[in-house]
Amino acid sequence: MNTIPVLRHRFSRFAFGALVGSSLLFSGCGKKPEEQKQMTPALPVMKVQPSSATVSSEYSVRLEGLADAEIRPQVDGMLQAILVKEGDLVKKGQPLFRIDDSVYREGYNTALAAQHAAEAQAAVAKVNAEKLVPLVENKVVAPIQLTTAKAQEQAANAQAAQAAATARSASINLGYTVVKAPVAGYIGRIPFRQGNLLTKNQAQALTTLSDVGKMYAVFSLSEAAFATFKKLYPGETLQQKIDAVPPVQLTLSDGTLYNPGGKLESISGDFDATTGSIGMRVSFPNPERLLRSGNSGKVSLLSNYANVILVPQAATVELQDKVMVVLLTPGNKVVKQVITVAGRSGQNYIVSEGLKPGDVIVTAGIEKLQDGTVIKPMTGASSSAAQTPNAR
C-alpha cells in the first residue's frame, strides 16, 4: 500500500534533477559568446610609414702597418750581435743585427788593393802614351807606336774601372754585415740568437719591422655586395663614390670602438678569380701607436637610406629562409605576409618588398597566431618605435 507514494517521491526527485541540469545547460549555452569574446587576444600593432635609416655593414679585417717589412740577411755568416729587443721602436737606418764581417772585410781590403794596383797601371800607361806624342810629331818614331800606347792606356783604364767596381761590391757586402732598419717602426719577434748561422737565402726572416703610424684594414666584397656598394653612394666615378663614404668605424676584437674613424682609400682594380671578391682598403690614423700589425676586428661601412619601410626585428618570424610579418586585415583578422629584407638598421629590418605605407602589422605575440585569427589591436608609443627617423 506504501509502494505508490515512494515511487512518486523518487520520480519527483528525478524530474527535479533533470530540470536543474537542463537549466544549467541552457544557461551555459547562453554564456558562450561572452567567453568567446574574452578569448580574443589584445596585441600591439603599428602602421608602417616611409622613414630614413642608416645601415651599418660589417666586415672582418686584419690590420696591417703602413710598412710591414721582413728583415732578412743579405750575406752569409754567423750572427755576431743582436742590437735591439722585441717590441723596440727603432728609427730608419738604425742598426739591428751584426753579422761576423771578418771574411767580407778581408775581401774588401783585397779588392781595394787590386783597385789601387789597376789605377797605378793605368797611370803608367797614360805616361807612356803621352811621351810618344812629341816623338811622333817629330817623326822620331812611327805613329803606330803611339796608337798602340793609347790602346794600352784604354785597357789599363778599363781594368782600373773593373777593379773599382769589384771594390765597391765588396764594400756593399761588408756593409750588409750590419743589418739596418729600412723604415721606422716596431721590432717584431726575433727567432734567432747570437751565434746562429745565417744565409741570405734562408726561409725565416730575422724579424719583422712594422711602421704603425698609419694602419690599414683590408677586406673583401662579393660581386653582388660591390654592385650594391656602387648604388648606395653618390658620384659619377668610382673615386667619387669612395670619397662619399662616411668615416668607417673600427671595432676591435674585445668589442671596443676605436677612435678616430677611418677613411676608405682604395678598391682593387679587379676581382679575385678564386674567391670572386674584390679587395677594399681603409686607413686609420694611429698617433698613439695603440694599434699593431696583426690586430683583428671588424669595420663598419655606413650607408644612408631614404623613404624606406622599417619594421622591428622582433615583429618578424623566420620560416624556411623566409622572413614574415603578421599583417592586420579588415575585420581585425591577421594573415602572415612574406617580406624582402634589404638590410638592418639597429633593431629594425629595412623592407624592400612585401609591405606598403599604411599597412598595419602586429608587433608582439605573433609566434602562435594563425591566419584568420581575430585580434583586438592596441596602438601606442611602443608600437611605433620603428617609425623613428634616422634609426640606426
Predicted confidence band of residue 57 (pLDDT cuts 50, 70, 90) = confident
For the segment 136-165, the average pLDDT, to the nearest whole number, is 93
Q: Which pLDDT does position 212 carry in this prediction?
A: 87
Distances (CA, A) of 363 to 37, 42, 110, 166: 22, 11, 89, 84
Burial of 332 (0-12, 13-18, 19+ CB in 10 A): middle
Q: 271 CB contacts (<8 Å, ≥6 apart)?
A: 223, 277, 278
DSSP-assigned beta bridge partners for residue 361: 46, 327
Residue 390 pLDDT more than 60?
no
Q: Which pLDDT does position 78 carry in this prediction?
A: 97
pLDDT one-digit tens code per residue, 2-25:
444 443 444 344 444 444 444 444
User: 3-class secondary structure for 184-236?
Assistant: CEEECCCCCCCCCEECCCCCCCCEEEEEEEEEEEEEEEEHHHHHHHHHHCCCC
Predicted confidence band of residue 33 (pLDDT cuts 50, 70, 90) = low
Q: Which pLDDT does position 333 carry in this prediction?
A: 93
Q: 341 CB contacts (<8 Å, ≥6 apart)?
A: 323, 349, 350, 351, 352
Phi, psi of 36 (to 5 degrees): -60, -40
For the segment 265-280, the average pLDDT, to the nearest whole number, is 90
Q: DSSP of 61-86, one letter per residue?
A: EEEEEEEEEEE--SS-EEEEEE-S-T
CA angle (169, 171, 174) in 5-degree steps:
115
Say what percent of the chain tops pLDDT 90.
Answer: 58
> Which domains does the chain show, CATH number per domain?
42-52+306-387 (2.40.420.20), 58-65+213-305 (2.40.30.170), 74-99+177-204 (2.40.50.100), 101-175 (1.10.287)
Q: Which of 50, 65, 6 is nearest to 283 (CA)?
A: 65
For the segment 381-386, the average pLDDT, to the nearest whole number, is 44
CA angle (324, 329, 335) in 5-degree steps:
35
Residue pointed to by grid coordinates 694599434: 291
Question: CA-CA distance, 349 to 55, in Å (whole number)?
Answer: 10
Q: Which pLDDT does position 347 carry in this prediction?
A: 87
Pairing of strands 89-90, 185-187: antiparallel
* The overall pTM is greater than 0.85: no
Residue pointed to by grid coordinates 817629330: 138
Question: CA-CA distance, 294 to 280, in Å (whole number)?
Answer: 17
For the segment 231-251, the average pLDDT, to the nearest whole number, is 90
Predicted confidence band of residue 32 (pLDDT cuts 50, 70, 90) = low
Average pLDDT in the chain: 85
pLDDT one-digit tens code per residue, 341-374:
877 888 898 898 999 999 999 999 898 889 999 9
Rg (CA), the chain: 44
Question: CA-CA distance, 158 to 108, in Å (whole number)?
Answer: 20
Amino acid occupying residue 121: Q
Question: Chain-centre distance of CA 287, in angstroms?
Answer: 20
Q: Is 277 helix (H, G, I), strand (E, B) or coil?
A: strand
pLDDT one-digit tens code per residue, 288-329:
888 888 889 999 988 877 888 999 999 999 988 899 999 999
DSSP-assigned beta bridge partners for residue 58: 300
Residue pointed to by grid coordinates 594563425: 370
Q: Which pLDDT does position 7 carry in this prediction?
A: 36
Contact 353, 339 (CB under 8 A): yes
For the segment 254-266, the average pLDDT, to the nearest whole number, is 91
Predicted confidence band of residue 247 (pLDDT cuts 50, 70, 90) = very high
pLDDT one-digit tens code per residue, 164-192:
999 999 999 999 999 999 988 899 999 99
DSSP-assigned beta bridge partners for residue 333: 329, 374
Q: Is 31 helix (H, G, I), strand (E, B) or coil?
A: helix
